[in-house]
Structure 1
Amino acid sequence: MFRDELHSLGKVIDDLFAGTGEPDCTGTLEEIILAWRQATFSAATNECLKRYYSFHLEGISIHSDTLSTFTGEHKALESGLLHLSETLVNRYGAYLEDDLRLPSLYTHAWRQLRLKEISALRPAILNASLPAGLKDCIGSYFDAYLQPGQACLYTLGAIRYFDKLTGELEKLDFSSPDIEQQVDVLFLHLDFNHLHHLALLQARISKNAEQMGQQEKLRYLLAERCRFGGLPVQTRYRYQADWPSLRSMLHNWLSEEIVRVREQSPACTTPIQKLGLNLSVAQLACLLKLLYDEGIFCTENFSDILRFFSAYFRSKRQENISYGSLSKESYSTGQVTAAVLRDKFAQMIKKIDRHFFPE
């Protein structure tokens, strides 16, 4: 049965406020950390451990706030609470939800450490061949977390995202002539769905397209939608977890722009030369579902894959493949269809063995 391991620590803080001097809390801290370690190796379920560790992180936050109002000597106790916070986050972070607020002692120490790291990164960003707006966007993001008085921002998820993003930025070569493209790829991959960044992308695409003719503009917007849609995006991190992803917001905006351009130029058409496949619609649908299930496509939206193939490919019997028929076949594959694909895969494996693994 789990219990409130911080109860004894609360008594230590009460004694401190009672004016008995700063007590030695070393033994108390060791007992708490030992209890946490034992809980990890207990028979408790993951959900139970999540509640257990979250409860203690919230308790440390309360004690941290209480201790911040004490004006006397309390460095040892403050250091102890910080050590407990770091132990929870670093060792048992897998059990902690991203929306948990971090103790003020922890965020203060984190901010001081990151200030030193960012001070070395800022000059590289400022001297890079990046648009001024993008530099301002990155700088304002840094300042929002590194300036005091922003306690509402310091959730565990926000801290994790900041550390991940800045860590990846430090790996970039800011002297490279294509640094803007590198930042685009990185921000999309890490889902930096900052509205300022989205607005900058929209403004840049609009500016590039404004001097183009209607057909060229349409091709450009379609290419940009395809380019951003094809870049890989991880799902672990997101700047604003409760907002749509950067890729989805950009995709929706580009789609609206494409519709607008087409409506302005009814006669403007972009002929599509469909690529023929020696597969039936059912076989193509089954193949796409298999590839999707194996994670071959860099998207989680299976519908987008079906729409793409229905728009740009034709089967051996049909010039036009409808999205509806492709979707239906992907979820109702029969044995005959599966057998055809199995034979094709078997032939491929034989070729691989013959060419790359000769006996």
Structure 2
Amino acid sequence: MQQYYPLSFFEKFIHVDLQQASTERKHPDEQFYTQAVKDIINEKNKILECISQYLYDLRKEKQIEWFIQQSQRQVVTLMNSVAKKLPTESLIDDAKPTVKNTWSNLYKILYLHLAELLTHLEQKFERYLDIDCKVPPSYLLKAQAKFREDVGLLKAGFLSSGVDEQLQNVVFMPFLELTKSIHTSSPITYQQLHYLTEMNKRLFQLLDVSGEQAVFPQKLHDLLLFINFNNVHYFEYWCIMITEDLTTFPTFREKLERLMFLQKKISQATQKPAFVFNSQRPPLQHKMQSWLAEEIVYHKEINATSGGAHLPEELSRWKNFKVQTNFSVPQIGHILKLLLDSGIYVNKNRAEILDFFSYFFTSVKQDSISPSSLRNNFYNDNAAVSKSVRDLLMKLVNQSHKGLNVVAWLIADCFLQQF
């Protein structure tokens, strides 16, 4: 089949005819202007009529895809060339000019009809479009105006919802970078603009439905994971946030439990299909999973290397902790003697055992037990104390029997119900 180049007229008209005529004359004469507008409209209508038939004759998906994407890129390139001749306010305004005989008005009419061709491709052949194609200047200018306004509103909402300034800067950085782009030389693609538009919408939705201020930052992190916000600055922020969070857990076990919980939560998180901030980078979920897996291995190895030794912060946790009991000091001393004499406690150094219990236990009458007081009661035989301890032990025995009886009754009851 013979190749079809639908935009050859527009390429010649923009780069040769219009360029030459605007250089020679300050204003277009009425005949040139009228004929140019007529030719632009006729050529646009001709292309719209011919494209569908040409694609029907092609039939093969790969050929159709190539043609649509090639046409899409050519139209955007031509729109960009025309946009360089127009002021930004003219590109944002979709109304056709009413005054004739100016080059600016002719360029505006030309731009609008090229935009109609692009809209036709976008609406009729969406699944064939090149998402990595740069957006036309008017798309970018309209997005810039919207994002400038929306970012201000979102920042105010985030500030009142407890989102720290650093996270705000990371989240809004892509929007601010887009607003600073020059519309005729911007690298912003369809994919990037679509992503930021969707992200902008979901950030507003999050503000509308969020409840307590305390949970909003976490909901924001969940949203960024859902929409695959794999921005390198956000990933760095997240790693630092988790590292700082781990410092609040005093023991190796608690740190590992926290890391494994996060690993489970992120692995089970839902993601928006085929949606990504930067298609050149790995998905955010994969980066987080990899980082957490490495942290878990690291903490396990550190714990194994230290032989299970306690970290200083682990020991400081118990500095002011005491086990509160209803025992008197003589009863504690007598119970410890029974446990050591019977071999239930196997520590050889009894002095250390007594010092440990005096430091970490309280009696019914004393918030603080001196080591010497506990030591004296440990070695002192007192019949009344012995009897009171036996009574306490008998209560424990009876309580144990009572528990066993209840369990036995429940088992028997369940067993009998099956017959």
| TM-score of the superposed pair, with normalisation by structure 1 | 0.68
* Alignment-derived partner of residue 414 in structure 2: none
Counterpart of 1:148 (choices 165, 177, 181) is: 181
**1:187 and 2:228 correspond:** no
Query: Which entry has the higher C-alpha Rg, 1 or 2?
Result: 2
Q: What's the CA shift for 1:181?
A: 2.0
Q: C-alpha separation between the residues in 1 aligned to 2:52 and 2:154?
A: 37
**2:251 counterpart of 1:249:** no
Give 1:250 deviation, angstroms.
0.8
Pairwise mapping of residues 1-359 of structure 1 onto structure 2 (< 5 A)?
1=1, 3-13=4-14, 14-19=16-21, 21=28, 22=33, 23-24=36-37, 25-39=40-54, 44-70=59-85, 72-73=103-104, 74-149=107-182, 151-173=185-207, 176-177=211-212, 178-212=215-249, 213-266=251-304, 267=307
Report the AA paired with residue 156 of structure 1: Y
- For residues 62 and 153 of structure 1, the distance between their equivalents in structure 2, rounded to whole angstroms, comes to 12
Q: Any idea what the Cα deviations from partners look like across 1:148-206, whole Å, max 9, x if unmatched?
A: 33745411211221122222222113653222222222111111101111112111111
Cα distance in 2 between the residues matched to 1:251 and 1:118: 30
Question: Aligned residue pairs: how many?
Answer: 269
Provide the residue aligned with 2:394 in structure 1: none
Give the Å deviation of 1:37: 4.0
C-alpha separation between the residues in 2 aligned to 1:115 and 1:46?
40
Q: 1:35 to 1:117 in 2, by over 3 A?
A: farther
Aligned-partner Cα distance in 2 for 1:37–1:169: 39
Q: Aligned pair in 2 of structure 1 residues 127, 29: CA closer, same or farther (>3 Å)?
A: farther
Which has the larger helix fraction? 2
Q: Partners of 1:172 and 1:100 in 2: how far apart?
A: 30
Deviation of 1:39 (Å): 4.8
For 2:141 and 2:68, how far apart are their aligned partners in 1? 21
> What is the percentage of aligned positions where both structures have the same residue?
17
Q: Distance in 1 between matches of 2:127 and 2:176?
A: 28
TM-score, with length taken from structure 2: 0.58
Q: 1:117 to 1:32 in 2, by over 3 A?
A: farther
What amino acid does structure 2 have at the position aligned with 1:99?
D
CA gap of 1:110–1:236, structure 2 versus 1, over 3 A, is same
Per-residue Cα deviation, 1:75-134 (whole angstroms, up to 9, x for no partner)? 111222233333333442310132222233443344334444445444323432212221
Amino acid at match of 1:132: E
- Aligned amino acid, residue 189 of structure 2: T
Q: Secondary structure at the match of 1:265?
A: helix
How big is the shift at 1:251? 0.9
What letter is aligned with 2:226?
Answer: H
- Structure 2 SS opposite 1:173: helix
Extract unaligned runs of 5+ from structure 1. Answer: 270-359
Counterparts of 1:98 and 1:128, CA distance in 2? 35
Q: 1:51 is aligned with what amino acid?
A: W
Q: Kindly provide the CA deviation profile for residues 43-86 of structure 1, in whole angstroms up to 9, marking residues without a partner as x.
A: 52222121111111211232123324447412111222233333
**Structure 1 residues 2-22: Cα deviation after superposition (integer angstroms, max 9, x where no partner):** 511111222332332222734
Greater Cα shift, 46-55 or 124-133: 124-133
Gaps of 5+ in 2: 23-27, 87-102, 310-419
Say which SS state the counterpart of residue 198 (structure 1) adopts.
Answer: helix
Q: Alignment RMSD, CA only?
A: 2.5
Question: Partner amino acid for 2:211?
Answer: S
Report the 3-state secondary structure (helix = DSSP H, G, I; strand = E; otherwise coil) of the residue aligned with 2:270. coil
SS of 1:172 mapped into structure 2:
helix
Q: For the Cα contact (< 8 Å) 1:82–1:106, is it kept in 2? A: no
Judge conservation of contact 2:155–2:168 (CA < 8 Å) in 1.
Answer: no
3-state DSSP of counterpart to 1:171: helix
Residue in 2 that maps onto 1:348? none
